[in-house]
């Protein structure tokens, strides 16, 4: 049984209290490793290490920081097969998806921010002949980065890379549900020569170590990705502490399909948007609105394609749809499918747990599920299910589609499918979301602002937004 270790002061160490949690492989339902249940005493060690490393790292040249980060990115690429396999075992996602998306993006994140660090510049504001203002952008110091289980290494690196590139020292906590790749990553940090204490990785639950990280007085900024309820909890727990908070939270994203779309491409992409990563992407389009003239044709083709998704062992190269992340999460998703039927919905395809043969016979697999006949206001259409479940609904006018799309508390992402250029811009402008994709989904440029509005979050990640978050601006005004 693998015993995962914390990474503190450049070393792999056991948790101070010696407590561990079971780590389950979702595809088999079996415990296959142990995760440290870290506590405040581990955090204190990490804080001491970070304090000791802070000044040196902040004063390390941009080129040197970039060099170390690029070495880390290279090591991820060199170990991509091992990391993809670890991610597939730990999370239940298909190994081909893990390699092409998770691991590919993890090294891309680090390389992108390594370069961003060398290109980042600050502003100056001249006041005629009177004075000049310039903005210093210094590292904040010790920052906390907390990430979820759906893209374990991808979202972990998305946070720590800009934090480190800006010269901060980091205390990071991956999800206790999927800790393995962050653990493997800590070994790569040692191999890459990242100085001790610059990054410290503590494993454990939100209660035992996540909460203490967010409220520790020496941690001046917290970048969090996870559920909206946890985000609200962190906001309350840190109220009055004047920390910088970046909150990337849940979504219930609309997909709006107009009758003039490129039909075949749209259906394929809308399937991908709904079910990639077993529907466990904050950006997945789970409410699909279809203009009435093509509703029946779209529905038939959509269902046909959904039924072709290959459910299987995450470790098989042919698998497109693996296991959901845990038994609890599987049960939550199944309870929503039950609720959808009580709310009057009709299951058009899927709707059940799938039992596989062989080593995956006890795995947490759920069939891709499409539901019809629900109102926009019902729980199924209002609450984030975060699984392979989507609803389809017809609409008649553009204004109605926008109203339906905006009709939840969330506002993370959306996609709009049309060949009418004017309408595309008009609708994009009116949708309440941090991201609108037109005739595409999950096409990502790492320079763009990433994040949500309403209950989907506060602040933006990506590109300059992340560099600004992880630095403290100071205006210096010099009179001539
Ligand atoms: P979660 O909120 O349960 O946990 C996220 C992380 O926070 C985990 O590491 C967890 O241990 C930690 N945590 C839990 N309670 C905490 C507390 N009180 N204080 C500090 N840390 C705490 O979310 P999850 O179930 O891991 O992930 C799924 C959610 O994440 C979904 O809602 C999904 O939409 C969201 N998500 C959002 C984005 C985005 O970019 N907006 C990306 C991916 C996932």
Closest residue by CA, ligand 1 atom 20:
210
* Catalytic positions: 248, 282
The predicted structure's pLDDT at residue 476: 98
Judge contact between 136 and 440, C-beta under 8 A.
Answer: no
Q: Which atom of ligand 1 is nearest to the CA of 229?
A: 2
If you measure from the C-alpha of residue 230 to the centroid of ligand 1, how many angstroms do you get, rounded to a whole number?
A: 6
* Residue 61: burial class (beta carbons within 10 Å; 0-12, 13-18, 19+): exposed
Residue-level pLDDT at 396: 98
Q: Within 13 A of 289's CA, how many CA atoms are on the CB side?
A: 26
For ligand 1, say whether the CB of 320 is within 6 Å of any of its atoms. no
**Ligand 1 pocket test target in 203, 227, 389, 408 with most atoms within 8 Å of CB:** 227
Provide the pLDDT for residue 389: 98
Which ligand 1 atom is at minimum distance from the Cα of 234?
19
CB of 278 within 6 A of ligand 1: the answer is: no
pLDDT at site 276: 98
Q: Exposed (0-12), middle (13-18) or buried (19+): which is 421, by Cβ within 10 Å?
A: exposed
pLDDT digits (tens, 9 = 90+) for 108-137: 999 999 999 999 999 999 999 999 999 999
CA 175 to ligand 1 center in whole angstroms: 8
| Ligand 1 contact via 25 beta carbon (within 6 Å) | no
| Confidence at residue 38, expressed as pLDDT on a 0 to 100 scale | 98
The CATH homologous superfamily for domain 253-445 is Aldehyde Dehydrogenase; Chain A, domain 2 (3.40.309.10)
**Ligand 1 contact via 251 beta carbon (within 6 Å):** yes
The protein residue with its alpha carbon nearest to ligand 1, atom 9, reads: 175
> Residue 247 Cα, ligand 1 centroid: separation in angstroms?
10
Q: pLDDT by residue (tens digit) across 230-270?
A: 999 999 999 999 999 999 999 999 999 999 999 999 999 99
- What is the predicted pLDDT for the residue at 226? 98
Mean per-residue pLDDT for 171-184? 98
Centre of ligand 1 to C-alpha 149, Å, is 7
Q: What percentage of the chain carries pLDDT values higher than 90?
A: 100
Tell which atom from ligand 1 comes closest to the C-alpha of 213: 20
Cα(47)–Cα(229) distance, rounded to whole angstroms?
Answer: 27
- Report the pLDDT value the prediction gives residue 315, as an integer from 0 to 100: 98
Ligand 1 atom closest to Cα of residue 228: 32
Q: Return the residue whose CA atom lies nearest to atom 30 of ligand 1.
A: 226
Task: Please give the distance, rounded to the nearest whole angstrom, from the Cα atom of residue 147 to the centre of ligand 1.
Answer: 6
Ligand 1 pocket, residue 38 CB under 6 Å: no
CB of 210 sitting under 6 A from ligand 1: yes
Can you tell me the distance from the alpha carbon of 199 to that of 374, in angstroms, rounded to the nearest whole number? 47
Nearest 5°: the CA angle 282, 93, 101 is 65
| 205 Cβ below 6 A of ligand 1 | yes
Q: What is the pLDDT of residues 47-59, one digit of tens each?
A: 999 999 999 999 9
384 C-alpha to ligand 1 centroid (Å): 13
Cβ of 283 below 6 Å from ligand 1: no
Kindly give the number of the ligand 1 atom that is closest to the alpha carbon of 148: 26
Q: How confident is the model at residue 401 (pLDDT cuts 50, 70, 90)?
A: very high
pLDDT at 117: 97
User: What is the rounded average pLDDT of the residues 183-192?
Assistant: 98
CATH domain 2-249+456-479 topology: Aldehyde Dehydrogenase; Chain A, domain 1 (3.40.605)
Report whether residue 215 contacts ligand 1, using a CB cutoff of 6 Å: no
The CB of 461 under 6 Å from ligand 1? The reply is no
Shortest-distance Cα residue to atom 16 of ligand 1: 206
Using one digit for the tens of pLDDT, what is the confidence trace for 305-361? 999 999 999 999 999 999 999 999 999 999 999 999 999 999 999 999 999 999 999
Q: Could you tell me the residue ranges of all domains in the chain?
A: 2-249+456-479, 253-445
Q: Is the CB of 234 under 6 A from ligand 1?
A: yes
C-alpha 12 – ligand 1 centre gap (Å): 25
Ligand 1 center–CA 225 separation, angstroms: 5
CA 38 / ligand 1 centre spacing (Å): 17
Q: What mean pLDDT do residues 22-48 have?
A: 98
Pocket of ligand 1 contains residue 457 by CB under 6 Å: yes
């Amino acid at each position: 049984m693998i015993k995962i270790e914390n990474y503190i002061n450049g070393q792999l160490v056991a948790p101070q209290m010696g407590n561990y949690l079971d780590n389950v492989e979702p595809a088999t339902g079996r415990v296959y490793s142990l995760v440290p249940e870290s506590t405040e005493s581990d955090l204190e060690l990490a804080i001491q290490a970070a304090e000791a490393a802070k000044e040196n790292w902040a004063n390390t040249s941009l080129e040197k920081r970039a060099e170390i980060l690029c070495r880390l990115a290279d090591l991820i690429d060199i170990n991509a097969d091992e990391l993809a396999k670890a991610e597939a075992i730990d999370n239940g996602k298909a190994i081909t998806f893990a390699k092409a998306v998770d691991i590919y993006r993890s090294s891309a994140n680090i390389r992108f921010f390594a370069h961003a660090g060398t290109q980042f510049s600050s502003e100056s504001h001249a006041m005629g002949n009177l004075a000049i203002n310039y903005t210093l952008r210094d590292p904040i110091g010790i920052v906390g980065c907390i990430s979820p289980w759906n893209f374990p290494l991808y979202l972990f690196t998305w946070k720590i890379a800009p934090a480190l590139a800006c010269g901060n020292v980091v205390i990071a906590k991956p999800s206790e549900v999927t800790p393995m790749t962050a653990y493997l990553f800590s070994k790569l940090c040692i191999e890459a020569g990242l100085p001790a204490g610059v990054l410290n990785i503590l494993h454990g639950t939100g209660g035992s170590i996540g909460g203490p990280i967010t409220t520790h007085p020496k941690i001046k900024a917290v970048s969090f990705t996870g559920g909206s309820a946890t985000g609200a909890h962190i906001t309350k727990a840190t109220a009055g502490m004047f920390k910088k908070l970046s909150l990337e939270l849940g979504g219930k994203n609309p997909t709006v399909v107009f009758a003039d779309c490129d039909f075949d491409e749209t259906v394929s992409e809308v399937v991908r948007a709904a079910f990639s990563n077993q529907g466990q992407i904050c950006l997945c389009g789970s409410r699909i609105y279809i203009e009435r003239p093509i509703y029946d044709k779209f529905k038939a083709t959509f269902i046909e394609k959904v039924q072709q998704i290959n459910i299987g062992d995450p470790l098989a190269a042919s698998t497109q749809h693996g296991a959901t992340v845990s038994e609890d999460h599987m049960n939550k998703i199944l309870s929503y499918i039950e609720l959808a039927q009580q709310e009057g919905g009709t299951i058009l395809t899927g709707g059940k747990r799938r039992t596989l043969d062989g080593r995956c016979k006890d795995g947490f697999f759920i069939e891709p599920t499409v539901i019809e006949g629900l109102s926009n206001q019902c729980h199924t259409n209002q609450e984030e299910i975060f699984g392979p479940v989507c609803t389809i609904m017809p609409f008649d006018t553009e204004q109605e589609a926008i109203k339906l799309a905006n009709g939840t508390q969330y506002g993370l992402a959306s996609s709009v499918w049309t060949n009418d250029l004017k309408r595309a811009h008009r609708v994009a402008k009116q949708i309440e979301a941090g991201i609108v994709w037109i005739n595409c989904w999950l096409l990502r440029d790492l320079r763009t602002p990433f994040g949500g509005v309403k209950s989907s979050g506060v602040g933006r990640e990506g590109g300059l937004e992340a560099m600004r978050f992880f630095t403290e601006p100071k205006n210096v005004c010099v009179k001539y």
